[in-house]
């Protein structure tokens, strides 16, 4: 499969057309942004780590009958994915209070919620990705109620599977953001990525942050945090082999 024209360039990835209909190539960058692009920087080897980590986790999820856009990893930074129409929603699953949830509700960071919570944000950089609910989503014709019910079912299932994986490597999955897309046949599938860019990871014992919050909050040891999560996942991958 050959890469052709650049279709889209975002904050963390480039998306290219290919010579085969229905497939795209995603190329991961080392660029890092926060606060809707206000803060910018670079994290060494982030692109390679996010690419490989996301692909591994999507293969794990596929074993639980969760369809994803993943097709084939080409190299450290590039992956073939199924072409799909991205539903313009950030689907956020929260297990523990952190970040904006703590600020909005006055909950101390680190308080475990009595049940996982799903939140939606409308993907629009100019608007600052505002939070929306089911009624907004249906009124704006972003997704139907049936699609939302499927998205929520899949989001909770993904959460269960990811927690099992990260518990094995002594990492607490605090929260994460995922995106879904629609294939031409109408199937809703998991797209985008699962990485320290899109998840909050804390060490289960020390509660050290092992994710993009280290970049957002100027905590230092950003590259080391990404490498730590990836290194633990590699060991887990070797155990499964």
123 and 215 inside one domain: yes
Give the end of a domain, one of 82, 108, 123: 82
107 and 209 inside one domain: yes
Read off the pLDDT of each residue in 178-189 and give the average, rounded to a whole number: 97
Phi then psi for residue 54, to 5 deg, are: -60, -45
60 and 92 inside one domain: no
pLDDT at 38 > cutoff 80: no
94 and 189 inside one domain: yes
Give the end of a domain, one of 82, 108, 126: 82
pLDDT score recorded for residue 39: 86
75 and 142 inside one domain: no
76 and 100 inside one domain: no
132 and 226 inside one domain: yes
Give residue-wise pLDDT tens across range 78-107: 999 999 999 999 999 999 999 999 999 999
More confident: 49 or 33: 49
31 and 144 inside one domain: no
Give residue-wise pLDDT tens across range 99-137: 999 999 999 999 999 999 999 999 998 999 999 999 999
Share of the chain above pLDDT 90, in %: 93
pLDDT score recorded for residue 119: 98
Read off the pLDDT of each residue in 208-237 and give the average, rounded to a whole number: 96
9 and 60 inside one domain: yes
pLDDT at 223 > cutoff 80: yes
Which residue bears the tokens 């060991």?
235
What rounded mean pLDDT belongs to the chain? 96
pLDDT at 37 > cutoff 80: no
DSSP string for residues in the chain? --EEEEEEE-SSEEEEEESSTTEEEEEE-SEEEETTTTEEEE-TTHHHHHHHHHHHHHHHHHTTT--BSEEEE-SSSEEEEE--EE-SEEEEEEEE--HHHHHHHTPPTTPEEEEEEEEEEE--GGGT--EE-HHHHHHTTSS-HHHHHHHHHHHHHHHHHHHHHHHHTTEEEEEEEEEEEE-TT--EEEES--STTTEEEEETTT--B-STHHHHTT-S-HHHHHHHHHHHHHHHHHHH-
217 and 100 inside one domain: yes
pLDDT score recorded for residue 169: 97
92 and 211 inside one domain: yes
Give the end of a domain, one of 62, 82, 102: 82
Distance CA 12, CA 5 (A): 18
Distance CA 93, CA 180 (A): 13
Can you give the CATH number for the domain in which 9 is found?
3.30.200.20
pLDDT score recorded for residue 109: 96
Can you give the CATH number for the domain in which 134 is found?
3.30.470.20
pLDDT score recorded for residue 197: 97
Binning pLDDT at 50, 70 and 90, where does residue 30 land?
A: very high
- 240 CA to centre of own chain: 23
Looking at the structure of the chain, the number of domains it has is 2
Binning pLDDT at 50, 70 and 90, where does residue 217 land?
A: very high
pLDDT at 35 > cutoff 90: no
Give residue-wise pLDDT tens across range 43-60: 999 999 999 999 999 999
Domain of residue 128 covers: 85-240
74 and 117 inside one domain: no
The answer to whether the CB of 75 falls within 8 A of the CB of 59 is no
């Amino acid at each position: 499969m050959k890469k052709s024209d650049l279709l889209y360039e975002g904050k963390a990835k480039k998306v290219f057309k290919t010579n085969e209909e229905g497939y795209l190539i995603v190329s991961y960058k080392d660029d890092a942004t926060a606060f809707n692009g206000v803060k910018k920087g670079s994290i060494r080897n982030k692109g390679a780590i996010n690419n490989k980590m996301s692909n591994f986790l999507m293969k794990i999820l596929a074993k639980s009958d969760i369809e994803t856009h993943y097709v084939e990893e080409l190299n450290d930074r590039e992956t073939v994915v199924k072409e799909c129409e991205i539903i313009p929603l950030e689907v956020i699953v929260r297990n523990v209070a952190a970040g904006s949830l703590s600020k909005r509700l006055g909950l101390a960071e680190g308080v475990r919620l009595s049940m996982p919570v799903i939140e939606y944000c409308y993907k629009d950089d100019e608007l600052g990705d505002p939070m929306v609910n089911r009624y907004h989503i249906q009124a704006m014709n972003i997704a139907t109620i049936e699609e939302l019910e499927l998205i929520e079912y899949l989001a909770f299932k993904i959460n269960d599977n990811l927690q099992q994986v990260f518990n094995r490597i002594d990492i607490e999955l605090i929260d994460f953001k995922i995106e879904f897309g629609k294939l031409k046949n109408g199937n809703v599938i998991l797209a985008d990525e699962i990485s320290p860019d899109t998840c909050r990871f804390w060490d289960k014992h020390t509660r050290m942050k092992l994710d993009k919050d280290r970049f957002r909050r100027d905590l230092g040891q950003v590259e080391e945090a990404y490498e730590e999560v990836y290194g633990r996942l590699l060991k887990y991958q070797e155990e499964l082999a």
